[in-house]
A and B are shown apart, each in its own frame.
Chain A
């Protein structure tokens, strides 16, 4: 299964864009990249996923490099409520399970 690597923590000022990187250099051609976030004591919340094209929804944008070895989750205008642990995960070949990394703890400050 492909592994993901993320920085353990990041800070962002409220109202600014938060750019969270993820390395998945061993990803296979048909494995998807997923992003979830988790607020303390709650279950992970789905944010976005993609295969090779950039994706955008009401929560965030996902930028995947052309070689697919890394991706960036962008929260365009971070708010205090975006403070959470953000997990990058890879959907394994066969679409059976998500393989999560150890996550990035994002702190959004006023």
Chain B
């Protein structure tokens, strides 16, 4: 079956612009995660969805970051007023549930470059 897909694969934007990153999880997966991979910070957790709700948004680095998930499927990560430090690869992952030990399946990522 299809894996996790993300779009766009690459995004170049100017400082101050807003960007939207999209994630299509594996069909039937109820848990969805966003991570960020950057040279300085490594792989860091951003936010988690169970169904359409995000119980904990404390992983988001600032209030310029927001995310939503609709229909228990597609998720969008929005970054407003982008800054150069937002440049990173944004990875999405999904799993059957949020139960302990469930492996997470990752998408190919969106490489964001803020000029």
A, B from the same assembly: no
Interface of B toward A, CB cutoff 8 Å: none
Interface of A toward B, CB cutoff 8 Å: none
